[in-house]
Chains A and B, each alone.
With several copies, the nearest count.
Chain A
Amino acid sequence: MDFTFTEDQLALRANVRSVFMKEVAPELLRELWETDSGRSAELWQLVTEQGLTALSVPEEYGGLGLSDIDWVLMAQEVGYYGLTEPLIDTSWVGAALIAALPESAAAFKDVWLARIAHGEAKLAIGHPLNPLVENAHVADLLLLNHGDEVHAVPRAQVTLTAHASLDASRRLFAVEWTPSEATRLASANVGRTLWADALNRSVLAVAAQLSGLVTRVLDLAIDYTAERKQFGKPIGSFQAVKHLLADVAVELEFAKPALFRAAVSLANGHSLAGLHVSHARLALADTAALAARHTMQVHGAMGYTWELDLQIFMKRIWALAAVWGDKAYHLARVADHVLAESTVLDPSQTFAA
């Protein structure tokens, strides 16, 4: 029993953090809002150079073979810095799904896992929980769900209709496509497990990004309230302002352990991984909603402006509120476990596989 990250994991995070801090600046995110694709070849090259595209691709396919536990730290940084390149869908969720394909898809795996590892392919993922597909416009390949079957469809074979999100960074598309023998990668029987894993991994990724986003808006609010003065002193010295931010810090402190447990459960194929992922998702969605509200409030009218960076991260929080399942969906998964007659509610089960 050891609930801490390894030195290696923390070193990798420190490295990525310092690169993102320099290269993924709010000004760049704002510039990308105004572009057609909203995506940046330079940023994609950056994440490739950092090895992020190869992170969890198995070593035999040229990747680093790291796990969900490493990824959860990366996804927090993705959230903190507001990166919206299709990194998570490609190199975490997509790579894991492809790596888990049966032997019959060996040739497909060879080609695509290598491309992913080398940053030569971008993926988008379509699942009935999400009405639209993010980043479909820049994906080389779309992994699509068709009644639990897994289909792999090149972008040339789909028709896309853009829908604007309140977060201008998020590029969402309705996808029209025709399933066929040629596109099917896995049958419904095989696909059911693959999609269950992809769903849990995606939910975990959303939760991790929310964790990073909460830290970001807190950091912005702490800085702002230290500088902004009213009634002759920094507004951060007023008790009401302190308590608004302390409330957020408390919630975050108890959401993060749930996030990390979920990563471990998923990495280890724990039978309750879905429950643990939903727990993390629920806790972080609530924390993030509170964080957006309270950090906005302590910013006063400045928080309502386009000018301050706060808006970039608040909007991401709001936009992610119901991606990969809303509160009702995840609460139902919790209820299915907690309220089942067969469940033993005993603290010795907290980590039980």
Chain B
Amino acid sequence: MELDYTDKQRAFRAEIRAWLAEHVPKQPLPSFDTEEGFQAHRDWERTLFEGRWSMVTWPQELGGRGCDLIEWLIFEEEYWRAGAPLRVNQNGVFLLGPTIMDYGSDEQRQRFLPRIASGDDVWAQGWSEPNAGSDMAAIRTKAVRDGDHYVINGQKTWSTRAVWADWLFGLFRTDPESSRHHGLSFVLVPLDTPGITVRPIRQLNGETGFAEVFFDDVRVPVENRLGDEGAGWSVAMATAGFERGLMLRSPARFQATAAALVRLYQANREQADRDPAIRNAVLDAWLRAEAYALATYRTASRLIQGGEIGAEASTNKIFWSELDLKMHDAAQAILGAHGELVASVPREGAIGSWIDGFLFAQAGPIYAGTNEIQRNIIAERLLGMPR
């Protein structure tokens, strides 16, 4: 057990810190749930790519740096510390990218990965359907084989980034006779294919972070399938594992919020200390953000030594989503009567005002598998309790 950074790691931190200091936009970008903001964030992805910072864990030949997970954590720490923009292509960089590396053909790797890295292709998710939310195996949208193509009919929903994205990845039922998680395939779909209709979903804050996607005889070449036909479920499980696990929410994100919360408390201490429990909530937030970072370093160390990610992906999901709620509850308690005001209390970093963060935090225990589902998984897989 060795908890010091190596000289190489320190140098890496210094390099990214310096680069970010120079390149991070001085003014926050507009929300990527607007057309203008989406474009600005895509441009930022290009800037990152030019600095070879867009996907540091990817191999050198793909424009990455071949970083291990510890370096990735350092990168994320500096990224959030600098208040750099949110990653509009998170779906591509953190979810699809690693999945293609593991399950894609050489041709697919060549075709898709560079355009993810450069921000040329921004990706949307296509998991959920109206009747397949927590119960993802209930997917019904069909992809019927017709020669060299699949013909897709049906509907996806909660498709993150789909309003402005270029491509969508998702699970489709290629065997019409199948049920549950059999007979599904993982298919990549250009969102400009004829027959696709994207209907934005307005969310709590009035913006449109996700969309419904309707498929009406949409023809997609068979070579867009990732993995074997009918083997989509296991491919998707790998992707979902990345999602819930290490990549979706890096600790640095919550450490940034916790640090901002401490500063908010310090700046309003007289107001805040009228309720003596607020100090405890602030300290607890900081400790938990720290604990989340420690657990991630521990998992990263284990993975570097050849371990595999397991049910701790589910414990992560519960921990960060509940921490995020608690931190924003504490912030609202400090802000008191000013808490409900939309525009008045911006906070440092990229997440916008506290009330924006408060609304966004509400979604945490729901997306990427509700926390109830995660608790089932923990009980059954980590603790071995009966189904």
Contact = CB atoms under 8 A, between A and B. Distances in A.
Interface of A: 1-6, 9, 69, 129-132, 163-167, 170, 172, 218, 222, 225-226, 229-231, 233-243, 245-247, 249-250, 253-258, 260-261, 264-265, 279, 282-283, 289, 293, 296-297, 300-301, 303-307, 311, 315, 318-319, 321-323, 326-329, 331-332, 334-335, 338-339, 345-348, 350-351, 353
8 contacts: A218-B383, A246-B382, A249-B382, A253-B312, A321-B340, A326-B333, A328-B275, A347-B251
Interface of B: 1-6, 9, 13, 70, 74, 77-78, 80-81, 128, 131, 133-135, 138, 158, 201-204, 206, 251-252, 255-256, 258-259, 262-263, 265-266, 274-275, 278-280, 282-283, 286-288, 290-295, 297-298, 300-302, 304-305, 312, 315, 318-319, 325, 329, 332-333, 335-344, 355, 358-359, 362-363, 365-367, 370-372, 374-376, 378-380, 382-387
Contacts of B375: 240, 242-243, 246-247
A342 to B, nearest CB: 12
Contacts of A218: 383
B301 A2 contact: yes
Nearest to A231: B135
A311 B363 CA distance: 13
A246 B379 contact: yes
Contacts of B366: 296-297, 300-301, 303-304
Contact of A250 (B4, B77, B204, B319): B319
Contacts of A260: 1, 294, 298
A301 B363 contact: yes
A4 B298 contact: yes
Nearest to A236: B385
B203 A131 contact: no
Nearest to B136: A230
Contact of B2 (A1, A229, A346): A1
A298 B4 CA distance: 42
A345 B385 contact: no
B303 to A, nearest CB: 10
A253 B355 contact: no
B-side binding surface: helix, strand, loop or mixed? helix
Contact of B340 (A222, A282, A322, A348): A322
Contact of B70 (A1, A255, A346): A1
A315 B204 CA distance: 9
Contacts of A319: 340
Contacts of B374: 246
A304 B325 CA distance: 14
Contacts of B295: 253-254, 256-257
Contacts of A311: 204
Nearest to A69: B1
A319 B335 CA distance: 12
Given A3-B3, A243-B379, A305 B202 contact: yes
B202 A306 contact: yes
Nearest to A297: B365
B201 A261 contact: no
A339 B259 CA distance: 10
A345 B337 contact: no
Contacts of B78: 348
B340 A166 contact: yes
A127 to B, nearest CB: 11
A338 B283 contact: yes
Contacts of B379: 236, 242-243, 245-246, 249
Contact of A350 (B80, B256, B282, B290): B290
Given A279-B287, A279-B290, A347 B3 contact: no
A40 to B, nearest CB: 21
A326 B337 contact: yes
Contacts of B372: 238-241, 243, 297
A323 B332 CA distance: 12
B89 to A, nearest CB: 21
Contact of A331 (B280, B318, B376): B280
Nearest to B380: A242
Contacts of B274: 328-329, 332
Nearest to A347: B77
A179 B263 CA distance: 37
Given A166-B342, A237-B385, A4 B376 contact: no
Contacts of A230: 131, 133-135, 138
B206 A1 contact: no
Contacts of A132: 337, 341
